[in-house]
Structure 1
Amino acid sequence: MRTRILLAGVLALSLSACKKSFIELVPKTTVTEATFFRTADDYTQAVVGSYVPLRSITNDAYVMGEMRSDNATYFASPGLQGGQFSDKWNISGFLDIAINMNGTNKYASCYVGIARTNAILDRIDASTIDAAVKANLKGQAQFLRAYYYFELVQYFGGVPLHLKEVSSVAETALPRSSADDVYKQIIADATSAASLLPAKQTTLGMVTQGSAKTLLGYVYMTLKRYPEAETALTDVTKLGYSLVPNYANIFASRNTAESIFEVQYLEGPQGQQGNFAFQFAPNISNVKNILGPSGDNKTTGGWNKPTPNLIAAYETGDTRKNASIGFSYIDGDGNTVTDTYCKKYTHGPYANFNNTGDDWIIYRYADVLLLLAECLNEQGKAGQAIPYLNQVRSRAGLAATIAANQADLRVAIAKERRVELAFENHRWLDLVRTGQAISVMTAFGATIKTQQPYLPANAYTNITQNRLIFPLPQSELDINKQLTQNPGY
């Protein structure tokens, strides 16, 4: 029976040392360098701790991954004040600055994960734990470090490349490495991870060979190294993944046959819960008739609201539309309100307000099929690409694509990725990767401001090459004088 990883925080490791004296006593009640990183259980605990920042990153990843795009906007909230609201509004409208809690959270959480993996990778080769266990744990740590750096380089460009555990204040401040160097390290880590990780894990939630090869596929696609991407993504198709027949069930269940990399959450008081269903529900005074428990959702919800542009992208008969978007809801007074909201992650009724155990899928098999179709098409292999595209369309209840040449198929694949992966934090990066971000978002901005007049007049007016990445957090520049800010911020 396979167990499910619970991403509980590990004890903070106090890796301090003292000078040798006549007698040395190791405290029995404190985790120290002298007592930790000895057994397989120690390393396993440390690896589990390296997954923990994923929850923090994923919790608001939609702001930079979806609300920056033409997929999502927000409910009108003119009475709400404070950075937690304006920071999200500003990212959505290309008005963000270096002081923004969403960008800061992603940046800082990635480096927390990197620091934890570095502590493991600095030691594990010299450990005496079982060789097979060592390979698996090392592969997981390498994958996670690669993933955290991939998040950083996609959203911020070149960043400081920490590859060793920091043991002094001086070592914390590094200059920015080039994006090319960051990508080289990601490829090295992910390639090694793919060679070490098993195809399946006995503990659900731990990354696998498929996770590493999917990450490699994404990296190579981003770098337009299509033959290498094709190899990595084709390998994933041979690892036993399959499409879940009912699209809605992908998100209502955990760790399905389609899941390749999934962040684990646990409902309850343990501090491992998520709240996506509440964030994406309407910002109304009581969401009991939508989600189950009574609660004022005005300061929690209203995010990731589907745009008319996205809704129009669905074809007639596409089963993903109603699985992803709610078109009406019953408010706390029992009135039916006609309005849209993202319901892809609504799987209640939940027991407690703002507390769910729904996981977040980062990579899944349909994503790989469409990315592979894109990869093949970019190499002039339209005939080989079409079957992968049609697998995804068939599950959605749609007929085979009529696109046949490279140009038409490029449009068809991009549209399919948009509706298949809506609200999964892929749209903004897809637009950037395919060179469509500036043109698409400029046209979208002009239209959405006529549809939602509460949007600021200067929203979507600064969509330039500089805005394809985000500013480094001001707090990081303040403490590390070797950093330089991205142009345009």
Structure 2
Amino acid sequence: MKTIVKPYMIIIAVSAALTTVSCEQWIETDFPSNQLPTELVFEDEQTAEAALAGLYANLWNNSLISGGSDGMGLLLGLYTDDTASVSSPGSNSIIDLYYNQQISSNLIVSNVWTNAYQHIYAANSIIEGVKNSKTLSQSARNRITGETLFIRSLLYFYLQQIYGEIPYTDTTDYQINSKLSKLSADDLLSRIDADLEQAVNLLPSAYRNAERIYVNKSIANLLWAKLKILRKQWPEAENLLQLVLQSSDYAFQNDITKVFQKTGTHIIWQLKPKNSGDATKEAALYNFSGIPTTYMLNVNLVNSFSANDLRKQNYIATVTSQGQTNYRAVKYKNLAGANTSEDSVIFRLEEVYLLYAEVLIQQNKVAEAIPYINRTRQRAGLSALSTGLNPTSAKEELKQEKRKEFFSEHGIRFFDLKRWGQLDQLLSVKANWKSYHRQWPLPQKELLLNPNLNPQNEGY
């Protein structure tokens, strides 16, 4: 594994951003006047909070959940059948994901890995700093550790789904990290499971910000439930999802025009734009007028909606220019300088409803599951499904509902198809799709730096 930071310090800049340094830049320097060594950072609650704030800021800036060009919404939307690209093939970067022609030296394949492990390393630095602190209050220790454990678990969870077998580290020891081997899926998911259990036990139930931009117990319970679903532990997942559903913090949003407004009580977790008035990254990314030059919605997705589905009217814009008709995602409406009402939504209650329905169907509780599918259907102006559906029909309705509700949101389509063993249905819409594309190649430069990461993934 290549990406590391200095083993004995966390850099806290005036902007409260964490600075990550690759091993080629490992040099000794005096402390700049606006930076603190690790042992001082975590002896003061304000600077400890600044370290954690830096980690959150980097999730917004360049992470799998950023919502921008380096986030799963776009990358996995292109990779599956949510999003189309109009760029020319052959650049060995993002366009290759759309054409399912990525190779181990692909820039995006490498950057996603590097950025995620930088954030994981920063998280390990925070956890170690809090553990070694002699002055932080117990409540601050618990919360900061819980939030950081959750973020690290989130990154590992997504990395495992994208790359398959990957290394796990909970240390900042460079000698250990430079020689890590991959873990099997079962081993890695077991470690994430233990980390999430600890995070849930440490985190408070209450939000510490009205905009719900910091992690609380319900957010951790939701991710933990997703992990249980991935491992087919249906009763455990059901119990965790019930905890979220029963929380008085959340209420279903019945107005489809307000689903992506930041004040909604259906919002579970969201990331705030860097500056006041900034657009969400999603609003900027999918915006175009005239002939698109970057990304647009896949016609296959657009055609999956019935004409009377309010999501087609509210979440999709038709753009006609020079005799061409294309489509763009407009879940987020506000562009730069005019955004006062939208943050970037990571988790929302609708996902809990549909995950809960899936868990119930898997346990042959179809009649109990259908009302949870009907909430988003009926909000979209569609008729309610019958509670008398058989399990096979109920699963199919659930799958169609999830695609229509969550397109362009954090790779949900990819993760669903993979979990259901249905990625190969992309063969009908993606000319270059192969079964081994269920995971990306391990970055070539990482294999060269650390031979313990071999062998390369199948097909690459």
Normalized against structure 2, the TM-score is what?
A: 0.85
Structure 1 segments unaligned to the other structure (5+ residues):
1-6, 19-24, 286-296, 446-459
Counterpart position of 1:441: 426
Counterpart position of 2:224: 216
The question of whether the paired residues in 2 share the 8 Å contact of 1:374 and 1:413 is answered with: yes
Aligned pair 1:66/2:112, yes or no?
no
CA distance in 2, matches of 1:214, 1:34: 33
Counterpart position of 1:429: 415
Computed over aligned residues only, the root mean square deviation of the Cα atoms, in angstroms, reads: 3.0
Q: Equivalent of 1:416, from 397, 401, 421?
A: 401
The question of whether the paired residues in 2 share the 8 Å contact of 1:87 and 1:102 is answered with: yes
Task: Name the amino acid aligned to 2:186.
Answer: D
Counterpart position of 1:463: 434
Q: CA deviation at 1:52?
A: 2.8
Q: CA deviation at 1:336?
A: 8.9
Aligned pair 1:157/2:164, yes or no?
yes
Task: Name the amino acid aligned to 2:298.
Answer: T
Q: Residue deviations 1:124-170, cap 9 Å, x none? A: 2343322222211111011011101111111011211111123x356
SS in 2 for 1:244: coil
Q: CA deviation at 1:62?
A: 2.5
CA distance in 2, matches of 1:486, 1:27: 43
Counterpart position of 1:390: 374
Counterpart position of 1:311: 302
The question of whether the paired residues in 1 share the 8 Å contact of 2:82 and 2:297 is answered with: yes
Aligned identity (percent) is 26
Q: CA deviation at 1:482?
A: 1.5
Q: After superposition, where does 1:1-400 map in structure 2 within 5 Å?
A: 9-12=16-19, 30-55=35-60, 56-57=62-63, 58=66, 59=68, 60=70, 61-75=72-86, 77-78=87-88, 83=91, 87-127=93-133, 128-166=135-173, 168-169=174-175, 171-203=177-209, 204-239=212-247, 240-251=249-260, 253-254=261-262, 256-267=264-275, 274-282=280-288, 298=293, 302-303=294-295, 305-328=296-319, 338-348=325-335, 350-351=336-337, 359-400=343-384
CA distance in 2, matches of 1:478, 1:174: 13
Q: CA deviation at 1:211?
A: 0.8
Q: Residue deviations 1:442-488, cap 9 Å, x none? A: 1223xxxxxxxxxxxxxx33421x21011111221222222112111
CA distance in 2, matches of 1:420, 1:277: 17
Distance 1:124 1:417, change over 3 A: same
Q: Equivalent of 1:486, from 448, 457, 460?
A: 457
SS in 1 for 2:255: coil
Task: Name the amino acid aligned to 1:238.
Answer: Q
Distance 1:274 1:320, change over 3 A: closer
Distance 1:88 1:357, change over 3 A: farther
Aligned pair 1:405/2:375, yes or no?
no
Q: CA deviation at 1:261?
A: 2.2
Task: Name the amino acid aligned to 1:347.
Answer: N
SS in 1 for 2:429: helix
Q: Residue deviations 1:155-205, cap 9 Å, x none? A: 011211111123x35643311122212111111111121222222322231
SS in 1 for 2:43: coil
The question of whether the paired residues in 1 share the 8 Å contact of 2:38 and 2:129 is answered with: no
Task: Name the amino acid aligned to 1:245.
Answer: N
Q: CA deviation at 1:338?
A: 3.4
CA distance in 1, matches of 2:40, 2:213: 28
CA distance in 2, matches of 1:40, 1:62: 34
The question of whether the paired residues in 2 share the 8 Å contact of 1:63 and 1:88 is answered with: no
The question of whether the paired residues in 1 share the 8 Å contact of 2:55 and 2:123 is answered with: yes
Q: CA deviation at 1:267?
A: 4.1
The question of whether the paired residues in 2 share the 8 Å contact of 1:323 and 1:344 is answered with: yes
SS in 2 for 1:248: helix
CA distance in 1, matches of 2:20, 2:99: 41
The question of whether the paired residues in 1 share the 8 Å contact of 2:280 and 2:332 is answered with: no
The question of whether the paired residues in 2 share the 8 Å contact of 1:327 and 1:339 is answered with: yes
Distance 1:338 1:461, change over 3 A: closer
CA distance in 2, matches of 1:469, 1:488: 10
CA distance in 2, matches of 1:280, 1:487: 33
Task: Name the amino acid aligned to 1:214.
Answer: L
Structure 2 segments unaligned to the other structure (5+ residues):
1-13
Counterpart position of 2:444: 474
Task: Name the amino acid aligned to 2:357.
Answer: A
Q: CA deviation at 1:29?
A: 5.4
CA distance in 2, matches of 1:337, 1:356: 33
Residue-pair matches, total: 429
Distance 1:137 1:34, change over 3 A: closer
Normalized against structure 1, the TM-score is what?
A: 0.80
SS in 2 for 1:214: helix
